[in-house]
Structure 1
């Protein structure tokens, strides 16, 4: 049996704190010049444009806001803005980095991404696609900017490195049979551990994300770390065994998520199987 580790190298735990991250020193044209950003976007109060593409790094995603220059979507890129809009009126007087804004943004972008790529949450969590979100700069926030930008990135899910996206990801996962999805859009692990580096399943790998298990409903309180791991282990064992055709022996693993992700709406565990690929 594979050792089940509590390591949570997933974009989810990172995303929850994106808006709460400290802004880098410097602003306006100085910041744009230092980071190669678009000065027209820096400190802008306008809602971002949908349909724009960029190349983001993990460092970019860790910041509260992002103003990277656009790249043509028919050229190499790993991020696409699939949604943007104003925050609800309830956040009009919220402080910059308010945790409630984080939770709302994470939930809204996730739901919108499911519709955009033609997937449900279960399939999305097993894919190479994940969402990141950004808000306005602190200066723009102080000037009344209240918006959120949702980007889909080619990676980040379970810590995978970013990969290039097609010209558009709209309906990329919308298929009648999951077997019809290209392996390059599904997530696998290089080694025989859920803690090993994540790669597209089109690359050499030893584990594949096979199924997901829902551990609670919308109003279910967080069951705690021990109970979450116990349920994930039990459910994934049965689920992976069934997916493999009920072999006498098999190896599996699982990825579970913590209370912060739970509060943001993630009630799932990901089940992994050791493969012979």
Structure 2
């Protein structure tokens, strides 16, 4: 099952990169620009990096654009996005093209690392959360004027959580830093599925009615490893998830499990994990 993004896990986390790498492989984001009446004119062609900690009421349509200048709102008010990281791209990208592959990969790495740190989560947990992230670059005009910044926004939904065709994200709390820290984060932020199979079921927070829960992940390789191939990735994921889910359920004789594994495009974008799902009735 490929991550849905508007995506980033997403996920915008993966789809924003795949927009450049394999256009057409997913429902892609960050590939187009339209004027938005909710824009703040002072942000539209900004040269300097955006402020970290700013909150916005973003929609999947807005998250699907390469740049964003939506007006900020107080984080104590309803919002669906929070800027958790921003800054200048590496100097070696000063001469890069606006939609260059290297820009997407650099932003992906910066945002994904900061995402885990911001939430207080490890790599496995960030694959199993209803939270996701999106990244934005300057406008084309600002880029031509020398702007080389990136912006990473935490979003309430996306990736494993955003049902295909959804028109909105769910609201975020006023404080998101450390939201997944601890042995057992709130079910409000963990991903489950409600339906007959994992692949065909809408993804929901585990605090909602569900029939499947994402319980563990398997790491299929290291950062510099080549893609092992579809067959190897599938078999390794299936075998690990069977034993891992059985252990998570307390070693029952009869049980059901599912798994989400990703392909070469996602591997090239940086993902090295598959997700294991346990059938539950909670």
TM-score for the superposition, normalised by structure 1: 0.90
Contact 1:50 1:83 in 2 (8 A): yes
Partners of 1:7 and 1:100 in 2: CA distance: 23
* Correspondence for 2:197 among 176, 193, 197: 193
Match of 2:173 in 1: 166
Matched positions, count: 262
Partners of 1:66 and 1:17 in 2: CA distance: 19
The alpha carbon displacement at 1:251 in A equals 0.9
The alpha carbon displacement at 1:140 in A equals 0.8
* Correspondence for 2:236 among 231, 237, 240: 231
Partners of 1:133 and 1:22 in 2: CA distance: 12
Over 3 Å counting, the alpha-carbon distance change for 1:8 and 1:73 in structure 2 is closer
Over 3 Å counting, the alpha-carbon distance change for 1:17 and 1:41 in structure 2 is farther
Partners of 2:45 and 2:2 in 1: CA distance: 36
* Correspondence for 2:32 among 15, 18, 23: 23
Query: How well do the aligned residues superpose, as a CA RMSD in angstroms?
Result: 1.6
The alpha carbon displacement at 1:164 in A equals 1.1
Unaligned segments of structure 2, at least 5 residues = 5-9, 22-29, 164-168
* Correspondence for 1:270 among 254, 272, 275: 275
Q: Deviations over 1:157-208 (max 9, x none)?
A: 3142521111121011111x22xx2111111011132221111011111100
Between 1:189-198 and 1:240-249, the stretch displaced more is: 189-198
Match of 2:209 in 1: 204
Over 3 Å counting, the alpha-carbon distance change for 1:199 and 1:271 in structure 2 is same
* Correspondence for 1:66 among 48, 68, 72: 68
Partners of 1:258 and 1:13 in 2: CA distance: 12
The alpha carbon displacement at 1:15 in A equals 2.5
Partners of 2:181 and 2:139 in 1: CA distance: 35
Q: Deviations over 1:20-58 (max 9, x none)?
A: 844335xxxxx3xx4321111111111111100011122
Over 3 Å counting, the alpha-carbon distance change for 1:171 and 1:22 in structure 2 is closer
Match of 1:3 in 2: none
Secondary structure of residue in 1 paired with 2:132: strand
Unaligned segments of structure 1, at least 5 residues = 1-5, 26-30
1:118 has 2:125 as partner: no
Partners of 2:38 and 2:175 in 1: CA distance: 24
Secondary structure of residue in 2 paired with 1:16: helix
